[in-house]
A and B are shown apart, each in its own frame.
Chain A
Amino acid sequence: GAVVSQHPSWVICKSGTSVKIECRSLDFQATTMFWYRQFPKQSLMLMATSNEGSKATYEQGVEKDKFLINHASLTLSTLTVTSAHPEDSSFYICSARTAGAGGEQFFGPGTRLTVL
């Protein structure tokens, strides 16, 4: 199956700093990428959907100025958590979908962010 990678796999940062998480589709082109957030023992919450070359669509309640998403190419999307605070600590998972109406969605291994 298709592979989606995320980097870094974990990151610890100080409150107030910004953190960038990369998501790459390694062996396919992803016209659409998704960013999810998962709290311990909870389901995945969709944060935003991004299409290559256009602005991301954020879910209700997600601050677009805090969670900056860039989808500059068909194989790379980035999520930047700006001015991170402890409540932003979470497991962030990206997903990439292949082109077409029946496109399959593949998930990255996740990035654990801890904000001190």
Chain B
Amino acid sequence: AQSVAQPEDQVNVAEGNPLTVKCTYSVSGNPYLFWYVQYPNRGLQFLLKYITGDNLVKGSYGFEAEFNKSQTSFHLKKPSALVSDSALYFCAVRADGGYNKLIFGAGTRLAVHP
């Protein structure tokens, strides 16, 4: 069965500092991995995805994520956090083939302090 774990309910970062939001996954076969961001009372916005190829994926708003197969992780990173990055972040996984369901982690609330 597919599953996603986001071990941190909340991450606090000072503006300008690097941030990391952790995600580990479990899936049969090759994973399709995604990060989404959600602002209050809004739907999900796509940040980036890993399907195949380079393990370091660059996405929107300066975010990037590194796929680590041996550790089954797909941590989200940004070199310099902005206050406007404060939001709820979801990691999601889908088993390869693409027709399978997208399974979401519980979400991590990122709070960037001025």
Contacts and interface: CB of A to CB of B under 8 A. Distances in A.
Contacts of A49: 101
User: Helix, strand, loop or mixed for chain A's interface?
Assistant: strand
Interface string B61-105: 000000000000000000000000000001000000111011111
Contact of A100 (B51, B90, B98, B104): B98
A54 interface: no
Interface in B6-49: 32, 34, 36, 41-46, 49
A106 B34 CA distance: 12
Interface in A1-60: 1, 4, 6, 34, 42-44, 46, 49
Contact of A101 (B34, B98, B101, B102): B98
Given A49-B101, A103-B98, A43 B107 contact: yes
Contact of A112 (B41, B44, B45, B90): B41
Interface residues of B, number: 22
A102 B98 contact: yes
Contacts of B103: 46
Interface in A71-116: 91, 93, 95, 100-110, 112
B42 A43 contact: no
A60 to B, nearest CB: 12
B101 A107 contact: no
A109 B97 CA distance: 27
B51 A102 contact: yes
Given A93-B43, A112-B41, A101 B99 contact: yes
Contact of B43 (A43, A102, A107): A107
B24 to A, nearest CB: 15
A1 B46 contact: yes
Contact of B44 (A42, A100, A103, A107): A107
Interface of A: 1, 4, 6, 34, 42-44, 46, 49, 91, 93, 95, 100-110, 112
